[in-house]
Structure 1
Amino acid sequence: MTAHSLSIRLALLSLLGLIIASVLFTAKPQIDLNVSGWFAGASGKDFVISQQRVWQEVRLFFRIITTGTALLMLAFLVHNLLRPNAAIGRNRALAFIVAAYALGPGLIANGFFKSFWGRARPRDIVEFGGTHTFTPALVPTDQCRLDCSFISGEASSAAAISLALLLAAWPRLSHRDRVRGSVAAASFTLFVSGLRIAFGGHFLSDTVFAIVIMGVIVPVVHLIVIGRAEQPGVITTRPPKGA
Structure 2
Amino acid sequence: MKILVADDDRTFIEMLRAALLMQGYEVSVASAGDSCLASVSEEKPDLILLDMGLPDIDGITVIRGVRRWSDVPIMVVSGRTETTRIISALDAGADEYVTKPITLDELLARVRALIRRVPHEHGAPLITMGHVTIDLSTHSVFRQYRGRQIRVQLTPTEWKVLQMLVRNVGRLVTRQDLLTEIWGSEHVNDSGNLRLYVSQLRKKIEQDPAKPQFLKTETGMGYRLELQDSANH
TM-score if structure 2 supplies the norm length? 0.28
Higher helix share: 1
**Higher RCO, 1 vs 2 (CA within 8 Å, ≥6 residues apart):** 1
Higher strand share: 2
TM-score if structure 1 supplies the norm length? 0.27
